[in-house]
């Protein structure tokens, strides 16, 4: 295998986990981190002690706080910055020659929606408005049931590489075809993005139900599977309203696969947040959903579903969609209804 030069923007858990998989597979990966302690940790002891502690990293993986260095002259660039900062981060790269001329193939890991004056936008649409025209319809979106910890360990994981340009989807599929990763290509860019974003909303509700079920005579494993199936239906409804093109997207690893692992895995931050809503009354720290988003750094981990919930609510209103689970989480995070009251309301319909 001929190792490729790969840049990764964002050194969180998922960016680091995938960077490690690529480096372990023989590629030469340089990762940009905002925090100097992350750079020092990755380069000094081959571990991301802040975001992925306990996992040894390959010598093929290095880190830098110089974003221009990480991006310049890379054949492949992977964007893994949080959705709130993605556009402003990418805007710093536009005059780098390999970006300006479109020669670097760009893949995106970031999940969620981005606010705009015209309402919430998907990740790739947002990036296409920032990047040079040559990237329009050429970006690749990478998703699937893929907790960073297991990817870093090399446990077998399935991913989808989705792009309107099938050649670019195949290029990333081949790049990512390393030990532990099984990668499939897709043309349903919108559907895959919707699955990746909306499943986090369902996972927060699932985490709350799971916590309630520990002491409930009414809720159990059967109830949780009922919620998961109903949640998948809401994701599909949202996806088709926004332009998803393939029904099989939602029954593939992009849809049911990613939803299942996000809801059930011990690594899931959104499931954890749902648990914390019940077990630690974490919402008592915040006035409403907007206040929670404004102070989300105080939680100590990033529950992406809380942010996505706000935008799913706006999209549902725009398209007049009935999404009772997503709407219920919006009401819970806004302090309009108690979680147990919502669960009883939802499951008595």
Residues marked active site are found at 199
Length of the chain, in residues: 349
Residue keyed to tokens 């895995």: 265
Is position 302 annotated in a ligand binding site?
Answer: yes
Is position 14 annotated in a ligand binding site?
Answer: yes
Is position 206 annotated in a ligand binding site?
Answer: no
Is position 199 annotated in a ligand binding site?
Answer: yes
157 φ, ψ to 5°?
Answer: -140, 140
Is position 148 annotated in a ligand binding site?
Answer: yes
Does residue 200 come out as left (phi exceeding 0), alpha (psi in the -120 to 50 range) or beta?
alpha
Does residue 235 come out as left (phi exceeding 0), alpha (psi in the -120 to 50 range) or beta?
alpha
100 and 94 Cβ atoms separated by less than 8 Å: yes
Is position 51 annotated in a ligand binding site?
Answer: yes
Is position 111 annotated in a ligand binding site?
Answer: yes
Is position 284 annotated in a ligand binding site?
Answer: no
Is position 270 annotated in a ligand binding site?
Answer: yes
Is position 239 annotated in a ligand binding site?
Answer: no
Is position 272 annotated in a ligand binding site?
Answer: no
Strands (E), the chain: 5-9, 28-32, 61-64, 76-79, 105-108, 113-114, 121-122, 140-143, 157-162, 181-186
Is position 75 annotated in a ligand binding site?
Answer: no
Is position 331 annotated in a ligand binding site?
Answer: no
d(CA 212, CA 151): 30
Query: What would you measure as the largest C-alpha separation in the chain, in angstroms?
Result: 62
- For 122, counting Cβ atoms within 10 Å of its Cβ (0-12 exposed, 13-18 middle, 19+ buried), the class is buried
Is position 208 annotated in a ligand binding site?
Answer: no
Among 144, 110, 145, 156, which Cα is nearest to 130's?
Answer: 110
Q: Which residues are annotated as a binding site for sn-glycerol 3-phosphate?
A: 111, 144, 146, 199, 258, 269-270
Q: Which residues are annotated as a binding site?
A: 10-15, 51, 111, 144, 146, 148, 199, 258, 269-270, 302, 304
Q: Which residues are annotated as a binding site for NAD(+)?
A: 10-15, 148, 269
Q: Which residues are annotated as a binding site for NADPH?
A: 14, 51, 111, 148, 269, 302, 304
């Amino acid at each position: 295998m001929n190792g490729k030069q790969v840049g990764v923007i964002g050194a969180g858990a998922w960016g680091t986990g995938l960077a490690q998989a690529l480096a372990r597979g023989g590629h030469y990966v340089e990762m940009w981190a905002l925090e100097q302690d992350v750079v020092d940790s990755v380069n000094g002891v081959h571990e991301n002690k802040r975001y992925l502690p306990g996992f040894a990293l390959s010598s093929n993986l290095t880190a830098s706080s110089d974003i221009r260095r990480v991006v310049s002259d890379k054949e492949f660039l992977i964007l893994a910055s949080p959705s709130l900062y993605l556009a402003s981060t990418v805007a710093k790269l536009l005059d780098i020659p390999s970006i300006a001329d479109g020669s670097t193939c760009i893949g995106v890991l970031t999940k969620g929606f981005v606010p705009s004056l015209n309402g919430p936008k998907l990740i790739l649409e947002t990036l296409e408005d920032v990047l040079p025209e040559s990237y329009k319809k050429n970006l690749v979106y990478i998703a699937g049931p893929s907790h960073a910890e297991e990817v870093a360990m090399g446990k077998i994981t399935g991913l989808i590489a989705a792009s309107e340009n099938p050649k670019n989807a195949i290029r990333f599929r081949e790049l990512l075809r390393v030990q532990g990763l099984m990668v499939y290509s897709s043309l349903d860019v919108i559907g895959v993005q919707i699955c990746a974003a909306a499943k986090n909303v369902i996972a927060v509700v699932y985490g709350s139900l799971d916590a309630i079920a520990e002491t409930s005579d009414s809720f159990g494993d059967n109830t949780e599977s009922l919620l998961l199936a109903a949640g998948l239906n809401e994701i599909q409804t949202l996806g088709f309203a926004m332009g998803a093109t393939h029904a099989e997207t939602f029954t593939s690893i992009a849809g049911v696969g990613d939803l299942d692992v996000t809801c059930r895995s011990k690594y899931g931050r959104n499931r954890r947040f749902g648990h914390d809503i019940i077990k630690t009354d974490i919402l008592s720290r915040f006035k409403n959903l907007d206040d929670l988003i404004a102070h989300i750094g105080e939680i100590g981990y990033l529950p992406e579903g809380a942010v996505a919930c706000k935008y799913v609510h706006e999209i549902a209103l725009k398209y007049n969609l009935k999404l009772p689970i997503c709407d219920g989480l919006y009401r819970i995070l806004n302090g309009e209804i108690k979680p147990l009251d919502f669960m009883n309301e939802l499951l008595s319909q």
